[in-house]
Amino acid sequence: MKEILNKLIGHQLLSREESRQVLVDMARGSFNTSQTAAFLTVYMMRSVTTEELEGFRDALLELCHAVDLSQYEPIDLCGTGGDGKNTFNISTLASFVTAGAGIPVAKHGNYGVSSNCGSSNVLEFLGIRFTGEADFLRRSLDEAGICILHAPLFHPAMKQVAPIRRELGVKTFFNMLGPMVNPAFPKYQMVGVFNLELARMYGYLYQNTEKTYRILHALDGYDEISLTGPTKVIGNTVESVLHPGDLGLQPLQAPEIYGGDSVEAAAGIFLNVLQGRGTPAQEAVVCANAGMAIATATGSSPRDGYEKALESLRGGSALKAFKKLQALSA
């Protein structure tokens, strides 16, 4: 690690292979906490290159405990986090709405590091079981239409650095990697990113895969469709800007999608939305994101996807999927 750190301190870049090897060694516990923290800190002070990100991704996928869910052709809805906006758990709620609309979901997630409450925090609080057992995950998809893939159970490298990330308390390049390393290798992927540079990088990396994907970045900084303004959308064959009006909606204000100050508050919002007691703004932003996921998986328009998402949420299908997963977890 000393050699790598000296190279980085000297403002040099790592090759794809060097990046891969560093993370492999990190997962094996070859570095002490100070070395690991120093390595992570470098990438808080400069952007990761596409080649470095590829190498980091290669390492996590090489080491991950893969689970075969290909028979379901699932979609993953995942954000990088790290946008500093502290919204409620929009992509997690959108995952259940998508499942309620009949689209299988393999939701990859983790505890929050730079925000109050990540997807795993709120799901754990609400009694959802985290496991790497393939039979349970398949049963979840069969009966609830959704399964939860808690990242540390599948990625040794993430587990190794988790305490350091928590102590640092700020976003690291692991935020960028999360959506790229779903251990189920889903056929469809909808991912939100915290800046345009990363959106372009994701687009470059995803175009060399067989995934059908949509990459989202709200131009006012959110890592999802926020409806507070226009959202950049990059896909296999499309690059566009989505406006709230395209879905027949009015723009929202940032306080309308705030996530609260605790896991308890986030869980309260989560249940209110699923039970039909959310605010119109909360319902709209969840269904806008679920609608884009539905459109990604079915090839329909975002507007048609949005209408299907509304049906899932208002008709109780999303809540039914959640309650079934809760029951399976008991």
pLDDT at position 316 over 60: yes
Classify residue 68: in a domain, yes or no: no
At 168 the pLDDT is 83
Q: Are residues 53 and 181 in the same domain?
A: no
Q: pLDDT, tens digit, for every residue of 278-289?
A: 999 999 999 999
The reply to whether 33 and 79 lie within a common domain is no
Please provide residue 299's backbone torsions phi and psi, each rounded to the nearest 5 degrees: 80, 10
Is there a single domain that holds both residue 16 and residue 108? no
| Percentage of residues of the chain with pLDDT beyond 70 | 99
Q: Are 131 and 183 within 8 A, CB to CB?
A: no
pLDDT tens, 33-82?
A: 999 999 999 998 999 999 999 999 999 999 999 999 999 999 999 988 87
Q: For residue 229, which of 238, 239, 218, 237 has the smallest C-alpha distance?
A: 218
pLDDT on residue 323:
98
SS3 263: helix
Compute the average pLDDT of residues 220-225: 95
Instruction: Give residue-wise pLDDT tens across range 137-185.
Output: 999 999 999 999 999 999 988 788 888 888 887 778 887 888 899 999 9
What is the domain-level CATH number for residue 46?
Answer: 1.20.970.10
52, 77: one domain: no
Q: What are phi and psi of 276, to 5 degrees?
A: 80, 15
Pair 161, 296 in one domain: yes
Q: What pLDDT, on a 0 to 100 scale, did the predictor assign at position 81? A: 80
Same domain, 159 and 297: yes
Q: Are residues 313 and 247 in the same domain?
A: yes
Q: State which of 13, 29, 63 marks the end of a domain.
A: 63
Q: Considering its fold, how many domains does the chain have in total?
A: 2
The domain of 16 spans 2-63
Residue at 139 is within a domain: yes
Same domain, 13 and 108: no
Tell me the C-alpha to C-alpha distance, in Å, between residue 311 and each of 53, 135, 254, 289: 38, 30, 25, 14
Query: Is there a single domain that holds both residue 171 and residue 309?
Result: yes
Question: Does residue 312 lie in a domain region?
Answer: yes
**Is residue 106 over pLDDT 70?**
yes
**Res 68: pLDDT:** 97
29 shares a domain with 77: no
Q: What is the secondary structure of 154-199 as a DSSP string? A: H-HHHHHHHHHHHHH-S--HHHHHGGG--TT--SEEEEE-SSHHHH
Backbone angles phi, psi at 300, to 5 degrees: -80, 180
Do strands 231-235 and 212-218 pair parallel, antiparallel, or not at all (unpaired)? Answer: antiparallel
- Say if residue 160 is in the same domain as residue 260: yes
Same domain? 85 vs 220: yes
Quick check: 114 pLDDT over 60?
Answer: no
